Structure 1
Amino acid sequence: MYRFSSVIFRSFATTALLGTLAYAQAPAAPAKIDPNSPANIGRAELVQYLDSIAAQDTATRHAAVAALSSRAEAEDRQAVVRKKILSLIGGLPERTPLNAKTLGVTQANGFRIEKILFESQPGFPVTALLYLPDGKPAGEKLSAVLIAPGHGPAGKASDYFTAATFARNGFVVLSYDPIGQGERLQYPDPSKPDASLASRPTGEHGEAGLQPSLIGDAISRYFVWDAMRGIDYLSQRPEVDPKRIGAFGCSGGGAMTALTGALDTRVAATAVACYNTSFDTLLASIGPQDGEQSIPGFIAAGLDFPDWIELVAPRPYAAVATYSDMFPFAGARTTVSEARRFYALFDPASAGMPSASAAEAAAQSHPTAPALNIDTPNAVPLTARLQFITGPGGHGALSPIMGNIVGFFLRNLQPGSDADHPLLPPPIPRGAPTGLPKDALQVTSTGQVATSYPHAETIFTLNLKHAAQAIPSSRPVLAGEKLAVAIRETTGAKAKPGASKQESATQSTKTGEFQLETAPNVNLRGTLSVPPTAGRHPAVLLLAPESIDADNPRAQANKAEFEKLTAAGNIVLAVTPSPSPAGTDDMKSPILGPFYLLSLRAELVKHTLVGMRVDDVIRLVDALASRPDVDASRITAIGSGHMGLVLLHAAVLDARLKHITIDHVLSSYHSLLEAPLPIGASEDIIPGVLLHYDIPDLAKALGTRLTETEPLKGTDDLSQTSTPLETLRNQ
């Protein structure tokens, strides 16, 4: 069994890596990134390009849904969508015994809290709190609600006041810690176990999602399975009516509740807060935010936010939104509007009836007061299956509308109750609850599963086991056209050698700044050096992570290499591949690096950074080969780190690259799969790659066309700053 702490200590062997982790241990507020900065022009271009692909996909999807005209057609779509989602996330694990334990009980005002530990998978504990209302008549079974918390480090403890409100209204509540939150850190700091080496929950989620992606899984499968096993646990409790179990969550908890309600038909009522929006509005504002919310290929598969609601139909669903949320309210409104038409095919009451007052409320572009169903000009009865609960405030500001939320669950899970007058506490205070023992909301003895149960499974170890089943043991080594097809299918690379047309200006550019458009409004920027002598010259493509004129040792090393190659009589082109220039972005964690969120955005539309950069290289070779002063039979390329991995893929697809020289490149994706804590790996991730090929297959295919030095293992620091060119090492 894998022992987490000892492996972490062994993997932190180098001074550079320890420096990186020291930074990771101290979470800082995200830096404010200026998207209009000249340094970010390349990112802005690439984001716009990717978003234009997403817009085409969502428009096609919207038209398909709009064409549905019967319940039978809607049910057919539900079946197709559910199958697609399960395929995209890698399916669901096997249902195994929960091995549930009660580790303590605390009496509170109006309810008691049981400390629960259950296994969602063998040896994979979930820490949870069960709230049981006082005064339940003997033999009576109660309705229940599963609550998933938002992306706070406290996990389930942050939902105490919400859970208490539901309990005082007669619900059994199971509030649990999602992966990477509360007592379930996947990457605890050995020197401070309640802190994460991945900085914060979104860093934990992103880091945990890298390795499952390599075998075609999404981290979402583990998140939603935890929730579904929570439903299993509630169903087994003698106090609970298994036919009256609902699910609620806000923010990141809303995301998990959306998935749970959609994929688990036992959920009798679902309310999702501060998550529903549309990809058209999300991508144009804050962009993708987290690994479990960004399933690779989701948009490309013809899916969008409304699908999470529409899969629930005709079961009761409340979409909950606040007017100033970071998840755009305009997107929530359009999503619910579409879902209302879909729901109406099952439940005509969800469409409502024409009403002057409802039309007046729906006409408000900037509402300010709590409201119901302002997505439609019709009056929708509270008994309709689809409700849109909205109110003032920013992200997570639910206090003004908590009565409507609790009322929704009372109405649908407690028939005959006074749903119009739920019991509500005073405005929710900040900080820890008073009147409870200090450890009342802590399940494990140490406060972390990793230290209380050091031999427990983690996402890392579970993924290794799943990989052993998923990767064919006798997978043939691909070569030739079969390898090329596999590269294109997995990376999303599309460029064909010689297919791009070159402008005369590109063909005649002399020494100085270089620019090439490789996709609509996406430009590559670099530096070109042309010898003064006439005739055809060998050409070298130097793939660099930033401008060779940048003021740092890595850029200086690349410039030295550029000048040496120029002096040897070569035409030399030094270019930063997409995004060019690289620019910056919010880092969910330093160990994920500055390209993680961009990778999520690309993967949603079935692109990858590796694939787009491979296209860049092929089009750059087109540009060089078309020049009258280049000997097209002598084009070579040089790259280090992430750039070298791009060249490995490009050279397999483009035989015009007669030789590539690379260093400090990941040696195999399988070694990355086996790394307990990958550092700086997000640029290299290709979803599903290990189901088809690995890096040694690329090297074998290139044979003598490849010179490689100092390959890196998955346990090494892969961040670009740690992988300089050989010239830097020799200075």
Structure 2
Amino acid sequence: MASQITGFGPYLDGSYDASLQVQLNAYERTTAHLSARRAASDAMRTPEDVRARQEALRAYADGVLDASSADRPAPTAIVTGTVERPTFVLTKLVLETGPTQRVTANLYLPRDTTERTGAVLFLCGHADAGKAAARYQAFCARLASNGLVVMAIDSIGQGERKSYLDAAGREEVPANVVEHSHAGVQCWWTGDTIARYFVDDARRAIDYLCTRPEVDPARIGVAGNSGGSTQATWLMLIEPRIAAAALGCFITSRQSYQRSGGAQDAEQILPGGALIGIDHEDFLIAMAPRPVLVMSANSDFFPVEGAHETVERARRAYEILGKPESLGHVRADHPHGLMPELAKAGAEFLVRHLGNEPTAAIDSSEPVPIPEAELLCTASGRLRVDYPDTPHVFELNQQRLLTLRTARSSSPAQWLTDQVHRQRRTPSELFPRWSPAENHRLGDVEVRSHRAMWWSEIDVLNAGVLVEPADRPTAALEIACFATGSAELADRTDWLTERVAGGVAVLALDVRGTGALTPHEINPFPLDENYGTLYKLMTDLIWLGDSLAAARVFDILRAVELIAQHRAKDLGDCPIRLFGAGPGAFLGYLAAAIEPRIQRIELESPPLDPTTVVDTRMHGPQSNWQHVIPGMAVHCGLEDLLPLFNGRDLHIPQPAGADLAPTRRPNDLEVYSD
């Protein structure tokens, strides 16, 4: 008789490979939406069909990306210095884009221009130096040397716009990639994408360019590389003033990139975008018939085959509108990056479409980079240091939360129920499979265990280990939501012994992506850290208007169904309880709130509070993004759910350092008690 109870062996004891199920669920659902949208695109025949798609894209983008306030005055600029070059003058600016809001920018003005000319807004990829990165400088300088006005702005978290600094001006959150996701998680909790703030910066830069006497407002283009091209594509969905676009090292297809296993930053994720089938071809369709050049690197991690397919598919819209020549695609044999070959092609394209002399010979000489220090627009090189009253995404998102909360309409319980249940595809039965009983002794208690698996959705198995007292009556059945699922049983022997000695049967539950259902790793990052497999799959679900956390709460509700059925067979009419630890505390709290059959809820630690995440500048730990249910901080705070526990026992430990004394709520509701 074994003395230790463990979880499953590999592949659910050799009976099923569940390591791909979360991935396949997200991929297949995404493919279904993309395929439906492609079929609709293939059916476009007339200019009216193209315009209808453009209007639908703009309507979606207006809701997701538009962070602007109507009728704002044009931005003003503080000039902090100039840099003289033979073919252009670079002016260093601090754009004042709103009340106390500021963006650092370099404005390249071509020499010897006596009439208005076209302009280009350059948006930076993930370079620490932002606008001062050598390749980005070279691109801007090449355009200015050929007669175009160019404005390069520092994107959020790059160049002089690092947001998370200590008192000495040192970075507390690593720049750009990590910062974008650190702040982006907080935006997801409010139901937003951080991309709205990138887009607003870009639109305000266009507003400023329109005021410059050197610029023809009808000839303003946009260019970017990598993450800068991401920003440019969002701008293309929403901004009708863009006359041309050059996009480096980003355009592919959603399916091609999704299946590569690569993760993306928070600003590259559009919540619910897959539901209307948004694909990369739509960025190009949104621009038709305005000129667009896609610039691809053949050895990029953004698959070039996806770019080729996307351009060819989008070309139909240009053909329908009578401008097939306005969509171009150039490729170069190098890895990811705005290398000279692509940069020259992009410059020639923009000069041809925006310049005063489109047929003139292009100066393609390679510009000499300007030292980064000479391009700084602030004395310290840190906007946050020189202008401490400037709000960054953290502060803007906090204000956004307050604004959205005043307008919420649905009840918190109904909102949460909808988030958990919508898009789920349940089978006609759970179809549980129970292993033969195994006998154990825990201390002086004889127990039996069963391993089980059942279908939560038609393509998602759940699993668990049921441990029952064999030598005494069962008084209750408890769902245990451990941090690592049933794999944690071996470390929970004392806890388990105490439970079964008290007559409590325990189901150690594996919700999707945990325990015996841990996913197969699909990229080189650690499984549950930023940009790892679970992060990537979670963002795939956000694209679908879903979330990993909501799906896991659904899994807990399905376990209640399983228990109800099993109880009727073997356990009599004993009450259902829930225990939550680590992430399971948050998931369990939400599940119990909307499942009244759970009569007692005990959490080992306080559940994550979305409002606290939004209000905490240095939130963490990193893996808390797994809990995100977009919009929850607006629509359903933890405190909003407390009335749902009336008449039931809820036990939550007091948070460390909290001043709130343990209290007992009415109707045996116990909150913050040890």
What TM-score do the two structures reach when normalised by structure 2?
0.85
Cα distance change on mapping 1:604 and 1:476 into 2, 3 Å: closer
Aligned to 2:505: 571
Residues 201 and 134 of structure 1: is their aligned pair in 2 closer, same or farther, counting only changes over 3 Å? Answer: same
**Mean CA deviation greater in 60-69 or 646-655:** 646-655
**Corresponding position of 1:528:** 466
Q: 1:504 to 1:489 in 2, by over 3 A?
A: closer
Partner of 2:54: 78
Letter aligned with residue 541 of structure 1: I
Q: Aligned match of 1:659 in 587, 593, 600?
A: 600
**Could you say what secondary structure the match of 2:329 adopts?**
strand
Q: Distance in 2 between matches of 1:130 and 1:531?
A: 75
Q: Does 1:180 align with 2:157?
A: yes
Tell me the CA shift for residue 226 of structure 1.
Answer: 0.5
Aligned with 1:100: secondary structure? strand
Matched, 1:408 2:349: yes
Tell me the residue number matched to 1:25: none
Other-structure match for 2:419: 490
Match runs of 1:37-56 below 5 Å: 44-56=20-32
**SS of structure 1 residue aligned to 2:365:** coil
Using the TM superposition, give the Cα deviation of residue 78 of structure 1 relative to its aligned residue in structure 2, in angstroms.
Answer: 1.0
2:7 counterpart of 1:64: no
Query: For 1:216-256, what per-residue CA distance to the aligned partner results, in whole angstroms no more than 9, with x for missing partners?
Result: 32211110111111111111111111111111001000101
What letter matches 1:621 in structure 2?
A: V
The equivalent residue for 2:563 is: 624
In structure 1, what is the Cα distance between the partners aligned to 2:205 and 2:18? 44
Pick aligned residue for 1:519 from 432, 457, 469: 457
- Tell whether 2:544 aligns with 1:544: no
Separation in structure 1 between the aligned mates of residue 428 and residue 576 of structure 2, nearest angstrom? 17
Q: Return the match for 2:250 from 264, 268, 275.
A: 275
Equivalent-residue separation in structure 2 for 1:391 and 1:299 (angstroms): 30
Residue 314 of structure 2 is aligned to residue 339 of structure 1? yes
Deviation at 1:616, TM superposition (A): 0.8
CA deviations on 1:389-413 (whole Å, 9 max, x unpaired) are 2221111153223332222112211
**1:477-506 deviation line (CA, Å, top 9, x unaligned):** 93xxxx54311333455669x976233533
Q: Secondary structure at 2:49's aligned position in 1? A: helix
Alignment match, 2:626 = 683
Mapped to 1, the partners of 2:350 and 2:460 lie a distance apart of 49
C-alpha deviation, 1:548, in angstroms? 5.2
Q: Look up the match of 2:553.
A: 614
TM-superposition CA deviations, 1:350-385 (whole Å, max 9, x none): 0xxxxxxxxxxxxxxxxxxxxxxxxxxxxxxxxx21
- Checking the alignment, whether the CA contact within 8 Å between 1:194 and 1:448 is kept in structure 2 is no
Alignment match, 2:275? 300
- Counterpart residue identity of residue 203, structure 2: M
Q: Give the distance between the partners of 1:171 and 1:588, measured in 2 at CA.
A: 46
Counterpart residue identity of residue 465, structure 2: T
Partner of 1:463: 397
User: Aligned residue for 1:143?
Assistant: 118
8 Å contact 2:453–2:462 — kept in the other structure?
A: yes
Distance in 2 between residues matched to 1:609 and 1:167, nearest whole Å = 47
Partner of 1:263: 238
1:301/1:43 CA distance change after superposition, 3 Å:
farther
Task: From 191, 196, 204, give the equivalent of 2:179.
Answer: 204
Q: Does 1:132 align with 2:109?
A: yes
Cα displacement string for residues 684-728 of structure 1 (whole angstroms, at most 9, x for unaligned residues): 222122443211122221124242323559999xxxxxxxxxxxx
Distance 1:222 1:518, change over 3 A: same
Alignment CA distance shift 1:610-1:141 (3 Å): same
The residue type equivalent to 1:243 in the other structure is A
The residue aligned with 1:580 is 514
Q: 1:90·1:218 contact (CA, 8 Å) conserved in 2?
A: no
Shift of residue 667 of structure 1? Answer: 6.3
One-letter code aligned to 2:128:
P
> One-letter code of the match for 1:488?
T
- Contact 2:128 2:175 survives alignment (8 Å): yes
| Residue number in structure 2 paired with 1:122 | 99
What SS is found at the alignment partner of 1:182? Answer: coil
Which has the larger displacement, 85-94 or 403-412? Answer: 85-94
Offset at residue 118 of structure 1 (A): 0.7
Deviation by residue 1:94-150 (Cα, 9 ceiling, x = unmatched): 43442311110111242221111112332121001011122223xx11211111111
Q: Secondary structure at 2:335's aligned position in 1? A: coil
Long gaps (5+) in structure 1: 1-37, 351-383, 717-728
Letter in structure 1 aligned against 2:551:
M
Cα distance in structure 2, aligned partners of 1:403 and 1:495: 49
* Matched residue type, 1:297: G
Q: Secondary structure at the match of 1:151?
A: coil
RMSD of aligned Cα (Å):
3.1
> Which letter does structure 2 place at the counterpart of 1:302?
G
Per the alignment, residue 440 of structure 1 pairs with: 374
Distance 1:601 1:416, change over 3 A: same
State the AA in 1 paired with 2:267. E
Q: Identify the residue that residue 227 of structure 2 maps to in structure 1.
A: 252
Cα distance in 2, alignment partners of residues 227 and 112 from structure 1? 22
Percent of aligned positions that are identical: 27
Matched, 1:243 2:218: yes
Q: 2-side partners of 1:701 and 1:476: how far apart?
A: 18
Choose the corresponding residue for 2:431, options 503, 517, 525: 503
Query: 1:129–1:477: structure 2 CA closer, same or farther, 3 Å change rule?
Result: closer
For structure 1, which segment, 176-185 or 92-101, has the greater mean C-alpha deviation from structure 2 after superposition?
Answer: 92-101
1:598 aligns with: 537
How many Å separate the matches in 2 of 1:62 and 1:311?
Answer: 15
- After superposition, the Cα gap between the structure-2 partners of 1:258 and 1:639, relative to the gap in structure 1 and judged at 3 Å, is same
Structure 2 portions without partners, runs of 5+:
1-13, 439-448, 660-672
Cα separation, partners in 2 of 1:268 and 1:571, compared to 1, 3 Å: same
Deviations 1:651-676 (A, max 9, x none): 23322222211142346433332222
CA apart distance, 1:547: 4.5
**Cα gap change, 1:281/1:186 in structure 2, threshold over 3 Å: closer, same or farther?**
same
- 2:406 aligns with 472
Are 1:133 and 1:171, in contact at CA under 8 Å, matched by a contact in 2?
A: yes
Compute the TM-score of the two structures, normalised by the length of structure 1. 0.79
1:640 aligns with 2:574: no
> In the alignment, residue 259 of structure 2 is paired with which amino acid?
A
* 1:425 paired residue number: 365
